[in-house]
Amino acid sequence: MAWRSSGGSNRDLIENLFRNGMIKHLEVKEAFLKVDRAHYAPSHPYDDSPQPIGHHATISAPHMHASAVENLLPFLTPSPARPAPRALDIGSGSGYLTHVMAELVGGGGGAVVGVEHIAPLRDMGERNMRKSEDGRRLLDAGRVRFVVGDGRRGWVDTEGGGLKGEGGKWDAIHVGAAAAEVHPELLAQLASPGRMFIPVDDELGGGDQHVWCVDKDGEGVVTKRRLFGVRYVPLTDPPSE
Ligand code: SAH
């Protein structure tokens, strides 16, 4: 169960997520074990719960991050069809998930870009990742970058040889804040095939949200599956200073 996975150490937390079935694949477990959540969550890092990180943002609960990675996994890891996966982490906040995703894309040219609309949070994400030797290595190798932008518009990568692949499109897109809709620009930037994990406000309103798994197949045909109900902070305009 979701909330039963809290632990006394990073390893405890990840082992509990695995035992409780929130993490299913060994490669996902390995990636999470490489990232110490204490570098990203200022309080109670090994609780399976969201924690405030300032600027009205939160680091999501570990079981939510686990679910996101499990769902995106086929599009995050290198394969003959996709030797250098490119992933976008929108609303990168603490930088935790951006780091976990970077562990999975492999060293063959795969890359993750974290998009955050609050500049101090963009900086915090990178600073958090620099706390570990592994994080510094990934940053210095260009396997991960944090940028400032409005994630509702995706990210058009013009740096670091980023315009590789299918016109610079993204194999995997994770959205870490609740969107009013599946934004058309995000969908346009999704590779074919590609997958997006996105919390969206329910059409009926009332403040409820569900995560959607949006797939684009090799022919560009889009299908959407509603996964489960969530409570994320909204994907918004940046707050005025
Ligand atoms: N994945 C992050 C989630 C942080 S909370 C983590 O677990 O640490 C959601 C984040 O989305 C916040 O940092 C917020 O500043 C950011 N955000 C909200 N609207 C945004 C937008 N339009 N573009 C980019 N980031 C946005």
Q: For the chain, which residues make up each domain, given as ranges?
A: 65-230
Give the per-residue pLDDT at 204.
Answer: 83
Closest protein CA for atom 19 of ligand 1: 235
225 DSSP β-pair partners: 213
The set of protein residues with a Cβ atom below 6 angstroms from ligand 1 is 55, 57-60, 90-94, 96-97, 115-118, 121, 150-152, 176-177, 233, 235-236
- Looking from the CA of residue 64, the nearest atom of ligand 1 is 7
> What is d(CA 21, CA 119) in angstroms, rounded to the nearest whole number?
35
pLDDT score recorded for residue 4: 80
Write the CA distances from 215 to 10, 16, 55, 141, integer angstroms. 32, 29, 32, 30
CB atoms within 10 A of CB 106: 18
Nearest ligand 1 atom, CA 55: 15
pLDDT at 205 (0 to 100):
77
pLDDT under 50: residue ranges of the chain = 1-2, 161-166
What pTM was computed for the model? 0.95
pLDDT of residue 159: 58
Which residue among 5, 43, 49, 60 is the active-site one? 60
Q: Which of 240, 236, 230, 241 is nearest to 60 (CA)?
A: 230
How confident is the model at residue 187, as a pLDDT? 97
Task: Report pLDDT for 94.
Answer: 98
pLDDT of res. 166: 44
Q: How many helices (H) and strands (E) does the chain have?
A: 7, 9
Extended strands (E) in the chain: 51-54, 57-59, 86-90, 111-116, 144-148, 170-175, 190-201, 209-216, 222-230
Question: What is the predicted pLDDT for the residue at 165?
Answer: 43
CA angle 232, 22, 19 (to 5 degrees): 145
Report the pLDDT value the prediction gives residue 241, as an integer from 0 to 100.
57
CATH superfamily for 65-230 is: Vaccinia Virus protein VP39 (3.40.50.150)
**What single-letter DSSP state applies at residue 240?**
P
What's the pLDDT at 207?
Answer: 84
